Structure formats: structure tokens, C-alpha cells
Amino acid sequence: MSDSTVALAEPNSAFGKYHFLLRRLHSLSGIIPIGLFVCVHLFTNAQMILHTLFGVNPATGESYFQHEVNFIHAMPALELIEYALWASIAFHAVLGFVYIFNSKWNTTQYKYEANYRYTMQRVTGIIAIIFIFFHIATLRWRWDIGGFWYTPFWGHGGELADNSTIGMGDMKHVPMSLPYTAYALQFHWVVLAFYVVGVLAAIFHWANGLWTAAITWGLTITAASQKRWGVVCWALGIGLTFAMTAALIGAMTYNFKDMTVDQKTVFTHVLPQDQVTRFLGEGVTKADFPLEAIMEKAEH
Amino acid sequence: MSTKTFKVKVKRQDEAASASYWQTFDVDYTPNMNVISTLQKIAAKPVTADGKDVAPVVWDCGCLEEVCGACTMVINGRACQACSTLVDELLEENPVIQIEPMSKFPVVRDLWVDRSRMFNNLKRIKGWVPTDGTYDLGAGPQETQEEQDLRYAYSRCMTCGCCLEACPQFTKDNDFMGAQSFAQTDYFNSHATGKLLADERLDVIMGPGGISDCGNSQNCVQVCPKELPLLTAIASVGRQATIYSIKRFFTGKK
Ligand code: HEM
Ligand code: SF4
Ligand code: SF4
Ligand code: FES
């Protein structure tokens, strides 16, 4: 038979020339910038359960979790880190989709455990990118999705629902991290379900990715070593699942009555009255928390 | 006198460019048949179950003892060798035996496929040991039993294509080389004399369609009829590629 039956990519095309490099950068971008970040992020969030367990720190009047958030916000070059993360996620996701379209899943025919994980690696990658997008869109860019999935707070402060002349910048000193996360999750079960699915997908994707990466880079050469490393990756995945569970319990059990007076001021002025009633009880209104007090503090 | 028969459903295709279609045949049963002898019976009496005279089914074979790989086809959904697949075992799982050509290689006719993509890849990775010289090269170096065992396992590959048929990364319209090429790369790169061409092999294996396109589904090792240690082959070529790319980066070659 002639050679013409063999389809060969153009080795001199940009994709061909840097083929190996791109593939290895894809692997690296998954392990270090994105993967390590997801790991640290889950660990930090797990500390939301500290509020459920220990309440507020009597010294500062803040939740213990807030301490961790303040730590992240105080990190040097935070914006640089944020852009670097975006760049690696975009790079990893774009190449990920190229790879997905260049292959053909076949779990219906070949029902092997590793083959299911191969397919799951691709499915969870797609779920993860959808989840990450909505997660950031709602918590960071403050999008309102379907009227039930949104976060009415911006960064550390809040924006006022009424037409007050006070801008959100004026309330930047009021830490809202735990209340806003808890609010987003407690608002509707759909949000909670999406978080569970999205975070589990990301955890599986990273843990299984670490397992395949050890083959990709040639660390685990024998079947026995791949099995051993698989146990380590499973343990990591289970550990991160515990961290996720702790974070969700923390957010779901958060009692908004524990908020500081400043936080309650932001909360009542930002949210519609029915939500204020739902989370702070009958009869509480924004009139109980005058904005002036908060403004005075901001000036000092 | 009634003889026992069984049904065989064959996926047929008249020529490379034409569409495929299914035909069912009733085949007389005799004990200890394999799929090749089944196909021989169909060739001797090419009449479908509904009585239509048709052209005999075409297939490829060579050794008839599972060492050449030529008779590889998809039988009851699994890629395997027609010569070593036994009818009695197939009838135990299903009363109708279903036979199709491999789906990842171009069909020449009926069950006969063109496996030249694999042979071309063997040429590309220089699947040989360079022994020709103008003088006697002398005896080869000593090898440990362990090295010999691994390479003996690699040497069993019969270029059948089962590993590629089952591979989710290997499709008709991409250029992935697949586990068979990686195993042979490790085979020759781990040979004391074959090593002389190791860098040239890695240059190819690190290009498009090479080792970095493997998605680690490990189907290949599950289906390989010769039980090649393909997990080791893939990871070991990955390791060689890692080391070689660092070396190449710092020595400035290319
Ligand atoms: C939560 C964020 C993500 C993390 C932590 C992550 C991490 C990883 C890791 C560590 C690998 C293993 C690389 C290797 O085997 O060498 C990997 C592979 C992969 N990722 Fe991601 N990834 C993420 C998001 C995504 C997204 C959004 C997509 C796009 C749909 C994606 C698609 C893929 C694909 C297709 C592979 C398999 C590549 C291959 O085996 O050739 N990932 N990922
Ligand atoms: S491990 Fe790699 S070569 Fe083997 S079947 Fe999976 S993708 Fe194909
Ligand atoms: S590695 Fe195994 S399945 Fe693949 S071509 Fe060789 S013998 Fe066949
Ligand atoms: S005829 Fe050689 S393997 Fe079947």
C-alpha cells in the first residue's frame, strides 16, 4: 500500500514545531499554577468551618476565616498572580479542547477503569471551566445569573441598593468575605449543587491529572509504581474533598446574626428587605443600621 | 440429516471508497473451529442466510498461529486475531458471531485492512539496530537478565494494531503513532547497540503524533494479545523525552 494513506501533520507548522513543548506546558500549567492554586484555595476555604466551630474571634470581633482572606488580600502582586492564573487557565483550557476534539472516547466499547478515568478527565475539565467561569463571574465580577445566583457584595465592601450618594469605595474597610460567600450558597440549593459538582470535578481533574502527569514526565515507569502513586493521588483527592465539605458546611451553617455591626450595615443596605428578613429575622430593617456610623469610621 | 449451524454477521465493504453493509451467513458447525476456518467455510459456500449468492468475504492472514498479526479484526466488538479466536468460546457469549474490519485503518476490502501506517511509523522511528560497518564490530556488550526480559517482551510485538484500534487518541484522521511505536522505540533505545540511534528516534517521537499525544487511557495494555509491557514503554519513552529535551535545551542542538 502507498504511503499516501498515512496522514501526517505538517511538522514545520507552528503547532508541529512546538508540539512537544506545548504538550508539556499544558501538563505543567495544570499541575503548578492552576492545580496548586486550587489546592491552596480549597484549604483556605475549608477554614470557613472555623466560624461554625469557634464563632468569632473575641479580640477582633471577626470570624476566624476572615483572617485567611485578609492574608490573601495582603499578598504582594496579587493582581499579577490573578492575571498569571487567568493566562494559565486560558492556555490549559484552549489546548485541552484542541486535544479533546482530536480524540475519540470509547468507554462504551472498552470498559476499563483507566479508560473511564481518561474520559472523566475530559468531562471534568469541561465542567471545571464552566464552574470556574461562573464562580468568578458571580463572586468577582458580581454578575446576576437568573436572579438567584449572584453576590450583592463587591470585594471587601458593598454597593448600595438604594440611590444613596455613598459609593462602594466608601465601605471597602468592611470585610464581607464570609457573609457574601455564605449568602451566595444559602440563597438557593441550585447554587450549592453547582458548587458541589464543580468543585468535585476540579478535584478529580487535578488528582487524576497528577497521576497521568507522573507517566507523562516519566516518573512512574512500572505498573507497580503507577499503582503506588495512584494511592497517593486518591488520598490527595479525598483530602481535598474533606476540605470542600468543611468549606460548604461552614458556609451553609453561617448565621448572619453573627455579623459585626458594620457588616450588618452593609448587608441591610445592599439587600432587598425580604432577604434581610429571611436572614436577620422579622422586624430588622436598614433603619436599624444607619450608614453614618460606617462612614465616620471610614473617614478616620 | 440435519447439521448444527451458527450465524455469522459480517460487515462488508466492496472497495476502499465504497460504503459498508452487513450480511449474515449460516455456517456448518464442526468442533474446535476458529474464525479463520469459519471464514473459509463462508468462502467455500458464499450464500447469505436468506439464500442470496454473494461474492466471497475477503480477509488477510499469514502465519495462522498468532505471530504475524495480519488477521486482526474486530470480533464481537473486540480487536483480536481471527486465527486464534475460537468459535466455541464466541458462541458461549453470543449465538451470533459478529465480525468487522478494524475501524482505525483504511479498509482495502471486507475484513482486509491496510496497516501500512504502523510499518511507516517503524521506519520513522528507525526500528532497527545499526550493525553494518566496514569492519568487524566484535561481540555486543553484556546485558543483565532483567534487560533481556524486558526486551524479549517488546520483541513479541507482531504489529497487529489491536493497541491502536482500542486507543482513544488514535483516529483515522490524526497522526498519532500509538503504543506500538513507543514500545519499539523503547525496545531499540534500550539495546546496547540500538542506543546509537536513540537521539534520532527521540527527535521523531517528540514530534507531532508522538509520545506527548498519549492520553494515558491504558487501553493499549489491556488489549495487546502479546502482553507487551506498554505502560512501561510509554512512561519510559516519556522519561527519555524529558531528559532529552533538557539536554537539547542546554546543549543548543537544534
Ligand atoms: C481546575 C482547573 C484545572 C486543573 C487543576 C487542571 C489540571 C490538569 C492536570 C494536572 C492535567 C494532567 C496533565 C498530564 O497528564 O500531564 C490535566 C490534563 C488535562 N486537562 Fe486540565 N486542569 C484544569 C482545567 C482544565 C480545563 C478547563 C480543561 C478544558 C476543558 C482541561 C482539560 C484537560 C485535558 C483534556 C487534559 C488531558 C491532557 C492529556 O492527557 O493529554 N483542564 N489537567
Ligand atoms: S495509554 Fe496512550 S497509547 Fe495507550 S491506549 Fe491510551 S492513549 Fe493510546
Ligand atoms: S503492541 Fe501488542 S497490540 Fe500493539 S501492535 Fe504490538 S502486539 Fe499488537
Ligand atoms: S494469521 Fe498471523 S496472527 Fe493470525
pLDDT tens digits, one per residue of A35-72? 998 998 898 888 888 777 877 777 766 777 777 777 77
Q: Are residues B64 and B122 part of one domain?
A: no
Say which CATH number the domain at A236 has.
Answer: 1.20.1300.10
Contact A105 B168 (CB under 8 A): yes
Domain final residue, candidates B94, B113, B132: B113
- Whole-number pLDDT of residue A162: 47
Number of H-type helices and E-type strands within chain B: 9, 7
State how far the Cα of A175 lies from the Cα of A183, in Å rounded to an integer: 14
- Residue A148 pLDDT more than 80? no
Q: Are residues B163 and B106 part of one domain?
A: no
Band of pLDDT at residue A130, cut at 50, 70 and 90: very high
Q: Are residues A74 and A173 part of one domain?
A: no
- Residue A172 pLDDT more than 70? no
Q: Are residues B125 and B104 part of one domain?
A: no
Say which CATH number the domain at B22 has.
Answer: 3.10.20.30
Ligand 2 binding pocket includes B167 (Cβ within 6 Å): yes
Rounded to an integer, the average pLDDT of A129-138 is 88
Ligand 3 binding pocket includes B126 (Cβ within 6 Å): no
What b/e readout covers A184-210, taking b as 16+ CB neighbours within 10 angstroms?
A: bbbbeeebbebbeebbbbbbbbbbbbb
- Residue A296 pLDDT more than 80? no
Torsions phi, psi for A10 (to 5 deg): -70, 110
Torsions phi, psi for A121 (to 5 deg): -60, -40
Band of pLDDT at residue A263, cut at 50, 70 and 90: confident
Please choose from A19, A20, A24, A26 the residue to mutate so as to test ligand 1's pocket, defined by most ligand atoms within 8 A of CB. A26
Query: Residue B75 forms beta bridges with which residues?
Result: B78, B99
Atom of ligand 4 nearest to the CA of B81: 4
- Whole-number pLDDT of residue A122: 97
Residue A128 one-letter amino acid: A
Q: DSSP character for B56?
A: P
Q: Are residues B86 and B17 part of one domain?
A: yes
Distance from the B180 Cα atom to the nearest Cα atom in chain A, whole angstroms: 16
- Whole-number pLDDT of residue A152: 55
Q: Which residue has the cell 462488508?
A: B12
| B236 shares contact with chain A (CB less than 8 Å) | yes
Q: Which ligand is nearest to the CA of B35?
A: 4
Q: Are residues A245 and A114 part of one domain?
A: yes
Q: Are residues A111 and A24 part of one domain?
A: yes
Q: Which among B120, B212, B218 has CB closest to A23?
A: B212
Instruction: For chain A, give the mean pLDDT.
Output: 82
Number of domains in chain B: 2
Q: Are residues B229 and B183 part of one domain?
A: yes
Q: Are residues A280 and A223 part of one domain?
A: no
Q: Are residues B240 and B120 part of one domain?
A: yes
Residue A295 domain boundaries: 150-187+255-300
- Whole-number pLDDT of residue A232: 98
Contact B116 A103 (CB under 8 A): no
Q: Are residues B138 and B246 part of one domain?
A: yes
Band of pLDDT at residue B111, cut at 50, 70 and 90: very high
Q: Are residues B247 and B153 part of one domain?
A: yes
Q: Are residues A266 and A247 part of one domain?
A: no
- Which comes out higher in pLDDT, residue A73 or A286? A286
| B215 shares contact with chain A (CB less than 8 Å) | yes
Ligand 1 binding pocket includes A123 (Cβ within 6 Å): no
Q: Are residues B137 and B104 part of one domain?
A: no
Q: Are residues A249 and A171 part of one domain?
A: no
Q: Which among A110, A117, A219 has CB closest to B166?
A: A110
Contact at 8 Å (CB) between A209 and A30?
yes
The predicted model scores a pTM of 0.89
Highest averaged pLDDT of the listed ranges A72-86, A255-269, B231-245: B231-245
Q: Are residues A42 and A12 part of one domain?
A: yes
Contact B210 A19 (CB under 8 A): yes
Q: Are residues B160 and B39 part of one domain?
A: no
- Residue A3 pLDDT more than 50? no
Atom of ligand 2 nearest to the CA of B169: 7
Please choose from B152, B162, B169, B170 the residue to mutate so as to test ligand 3's pocket, defined by most ligand atoms within 8 A of CB. B162
Q: Are residues A86 and A162 part of one domain?
A: no
Say which CATH number the domain at B187 has.
Answer: 1.10.1060.10
The fraction of chain A above a pLDDT of 70, given in percent, is: 80
Band of pLDDT at residue A149, cut at 50, 70 and 90: low
Distance from the A245 Cα atom to the nearest Cα atom in chain B, whole angstroms: 30
Q: Are residues A292 and A224 part of one domain?
A: no
Q: Cβ of A122: how many Cβ atoms within 10 Å?
A: 18
Non-local CB neighbours of A41 within 8 Å, separated by 6+ positions: none
Band of pLDDT at residue B34, cut at 50, 70 and 90: very high
Ligand 3 binding pocket includes B214 (Cβ within 6 Å): no
Please choose from A121, A127, A220, A240 the residue to mutate so as to test ligand 1's pocket, defined by most ligand atoms within 8 A of CB. A121
Non-local CB neighbours of A298 within 8 Å, separated by 6+ positions: A170, A171, A172, A173
- Whole-number pLDDT of residue A261: 85
- Taking the centre of ligand 2 as the mean of its atom positions, its distance from the CA of residue B217, in whole angstroms, is 5
- Residue B71 pLDDT more than 50? yes
Q: Which ligand is nearest to the CA of A94?
A: 1
Ligand 2 binding pocket includes B174 (Cβ within 6 Å): no
**Shortest CA distance from A112: residue in chain B:** B219
Interface of B with A in 16-55 (CB under 8 A): none
Q: Are residues B159 and B92 part of one domain?
A: no
Band of pLDDT at residue A300, cut at 50, 70 and 90: low
Q: Are residues A219 and A157 part of one domain?
A: no
- Residue B84 pLDDT more than 90? yes
pLDDT tens digits, one per residue of A238-254: 999 999 999 999 889 98
- Taking the centre of ligand 3 as the mean of its atom positions, its distance from the CA of residue B178, in whole angstroms, is 10
- Residue A145 pLDDT more than 60? yes
Q: Are residues A113 and A59 part of one domain?
A: yes
- Whole-number pLDDT of residue A212: 98
Q: Are residues A116 and A144 part of one domain?
A: yes
Residue B181 one-letter amino acid: S
Instruction: For chain B, give the mean pLDDT.
Output: 94
- Which comes out higher in pLDDT, residue B248 or B140? B248
Number of domains in chain A: 2
Mutate to test the interface with A, among B231, B243, B247 (most CBs of A within 10 A): B231
Residue B129 domain boundaries: 116-251
Q: Are residues B100 and B221 part of one domain?
A: no
Domain final residue, candidates B85, B113, B141: B113
Domain final residue, candidates B86, B113, B140: B113
Q: DSSP character for B101?
A: -
Atom of ligand 1 nearest to the CA of A35: 5
Per-position DSSP letters for B107-145, written without gaps between them:
EEETTEE--HHHHHHHHHTT-S-----SS---SPPP--H
Mutate to test the interface with A, among B120, B212, B237 (most CBs of A within 10 A): B212
Q: Cβ of A119: how many Cβ atoms within 10 Å?
A: 17
Q: Which residue has the cell 564490530?
A: B137
- Whole-number pLDDT of residue A100: 94
H-state helical runs in chain A: 14-17, 19-29, 37-46, 49-54, 64-73, 78-101, 113-139, 177-187, 189-216, 223-252, 261-270, 273-280, 291-299
